[in-house]
Amino acid sequence: MTRFRGGCWWSVAVVAALLALLASSGVAEAAAQNESASEGVASASAVVGEEESSRPRERKVYASLSEAQQALRSHLLENYDRGSMPPYVPPEEEELAGANASAGNTTEPVTVEVGINFHRVLEVDVVKSEVDLLTWMRFVWRDTRLSWDPEDYSGLDKVWFWVEDGAGLAETSEIWTPDIELWNQRESIKTSYSNTFASVDSDGSVFWSRPGNLVVVCKFEGLENFPFDNLICVAELGSWSYSGKFLRLGLFSGTGVSIGGSDTSGEAFSEFKLDNATAELIVYPPYPADPLADWPVIKYTISFHRSWQPYIRGYLVSQIIFNVIGFACFWMPVASGERLGLAITSMLSAVAADLVVVSKLPGASELTWLQKFSMVSQVFAAYCVLEGVLVSFFYFQTGSDLIPSYLQCFFNRVKPKAKVERTLSGNSSGDSRLQMMTNPLQDSQDTDDVAVIGRSSSFQPRDADDYRSREEAKNNTKWKQYADGIDNFSRVVLPLGYTVIVGVFLGQVTEKHARTL
C-alpha cells in the first residue's frame, strides 16, 4: 500500500510537468501570433499613411489676401511671447550635417545684422561735441516662431507686425525686437527714430527699418585745422542688455553702411557735408564678474568736411584787412590825432572778429588753425598801437635823456644839488624882474636859459613847436630822428613779415589738404 502511494505521487508529478510544458508552448505560440498581427497592422497603417501623403492636402481657400493675412497673423501671434528671444537657427552647413548637429547648438546666440543708411548731415555742434545725422536704421534677424508655409495662406509670403517705441515689449508692439542702442548717445534711438512696421518673410526672416535722427556725442578728430577741418566722429552700436552669449552682431549686406538712396539725400547750402562712413565689428572683453560674456559692438566711423569759404570771406580776409589798415598808420603824420585812433580801431576790430570765431569753438586748451592766425594778427595790431604811442612820445620829447627826474633824484642822490639850483633859479628870477623894470626892451633869452638850468627832460604836454629854450628845440630834433627811424623800420619790416607769416599759414593748409586727397 505504501509502495503504491509513492508511485502514484511520482506519476502525478510527471503528468503535472507535462501539462506545464504544453501550456508554456501554447503561450509562446500565441505571443508569436499576436506579434505577427501587430506587424501586419503597422504595415497596413504605413501603407495608409503613404497613400494619404501622396494625396494633395486640403488647404483652406481665402476670399482675399487681406483675409489670408488676418488668419496668418492670428496663427503666428497665438501663444507668441514677445519678451523671449527667438530660438537659435543653425547655419546651412550645420543643417546639412544632420539633426544631431543642429540639436547640439540650440543654445547658440541670435545673430542680428545692423545697417545704417546715411541720408544727410543735419547739424554739427563742435562746442557740445554733438552730431545730428538723418539716417535709416535697419535690423535683420530670424525668428522661426514667425515662419509658415505660403501655400497654406493663398501664397502670402510676407506679413507685417507693428513695433512701438523701438522695443518689442512696448504696449502695442507685437513681436520681439533686439535692444540695440547707441552707446555714445545724446538721445536714445528708441525715441529719436519713428515707429514702423517690421516685415517678416515666410521663413521667419525679420526686416525692421526705421527713419530718424542719429544724435551722437563725438570725440572729434581734425578740429585743430578749423576752418579747413575734415572732422571724424565715431558711433558705437550694440546691445545694452544681451551680452555676446545671447546676441551676436553682423553687418547688413556685408558692409553695414549705405549713403544716399533718394533724390532728397545729401546737402545743399550747408556748412557740413558727409564724405564717407565705414562700419567695423569689434568685441569688447568680458567683465570680471562674467568672464564668458563678451560685448560685440559695431563701430561706425563717419567723416565730413566743413565749408571753409564763409570763414575765409567773413573772418580771414577781415583780419588781413584790419592789419593792413593798422600798417597804414605808419604813413600818417604823427601830429595827427587820428593816427592812434585808427590803430586802436583796427585792433579792436581784429579782437571782435576773433571773439566771433571763438564762440563757434569749444573752450579747450588746444588751439585751432584760425585761432593761431587770429593771435598773430592781434599781435601785429597791438604793435601798430604801441608803435604809434612810442613814435608820438619821441616826436614830442624835449628832454636831454629818457630817464625821469624822480629816478635821477633817487639813484644819483641829487636832492641837495636840486635845492641849490632852485635857489639860484629864484635869485636869477629876481634879478630878471629887476632888469625888466630897468630895461623892459631887453631880450629875455638869457633869462630863459637860466630858468632851464637843472632840468634834464620835459614831460609836460605841449605843441611840437612850443619850446622854452634852444636846448629843448635841439633835443626835440634828436628825438624826432628816432621817431622817423621807428616809422621807417615799421613801414618796411612789418608788412614783409606779416606777408611771410600769412604765406606760412596758408602753406600749412595747402599741405594738409594735399595729404587728405
Range of weakest confidence among 67-71, 136-140, 401-405: 401-405
Mean pLDDT of 305-333: 91
Mean pLDDT of 302-330: 91
Helix H, strand E, coil C: the string for 397-413 is CCCCCCCCHHHHHHHCC
Distances in Å between the alpha carbon of 495 and those of 381, 459, 506?
A: 12, 32, 16
Determine how β-strand 247-251 pairs with β-strand 295-306: unpaired
Q: End-to-end distance of the chain based on CA atoms, in angstroms?
A: 132
| pLDDT greater than 50 at residue 80 | yes
Is the peptide bond prior to 227 cis by the omega test (within 30 degrees of 0)? yes
Is the Cβ–Cβ distance between 260 and 136 less than 8 Å? Answer: no
Mean pLDDT of 440-465: 46
Range of weakest confidence among 15-24, 114-123, 155-164, 230-239: 15-24
Range of weakest confidence among 19-23, 77-81, 181-185: 19-23
Output the nine-digit C-alpha cell for 446: 638869457
Handedness of CA 191, 195, 201, 204 (dihedral sign): positive
pLDDT: is 74 or 13 the higher one? 74
Rounded CA-CA distance 132/136 in Å is 13
- pLDDT band of residue 468 (cuts 50, 70, 90) is confident
Quote the pLDDT of residue 105. Answer: 47
- pLDDT band of residue 168 (cuts 50, 70, 90) is confident
Quote the pLDDT of residue 449. Answer: 45
| pLDDT greater than 50 at residue 399 | yes
| pLDDT greater than 90 at residue 424 | no
Mean pLDDT of 28-48: 50
- pLDDT band of residue 40 (cuts 50, 70, 90) is low
pTM of the model: 0.72
Mean pLDDT of 78-94: 79
Amino acid (1-letter code) at residue 384: C
Domains and CATH numbers, the chain: 92-307 (2.70.170.10), 311-397+485-516 (1.20.58.390)
Rounded CA-CA distance 22/269 in Å is 109
DSSP string, 11-23: HHHHHHHHHHHHH
Mean pLDDT of 327-355: 89
Report the 10 Å Cβ neighbour count for 68: 20
Rounded CA-CA distance 116/137 in Å is 5
% of the chain with per-residue pLDDT over 90: 50
Q: Go through the chain and tell me how many residues it has.
A: 517
Quote the pLDDT of residue 44. Answer: 44
Dump pLDDT digits (tens) for 171-226.
889 999 999 999 999 999 999 999 999 999 999 999 999 999 999 999 999 999 99
Is the Cβ–Cβ distance between 117 and 135 less than 8 Å? Answer: yes
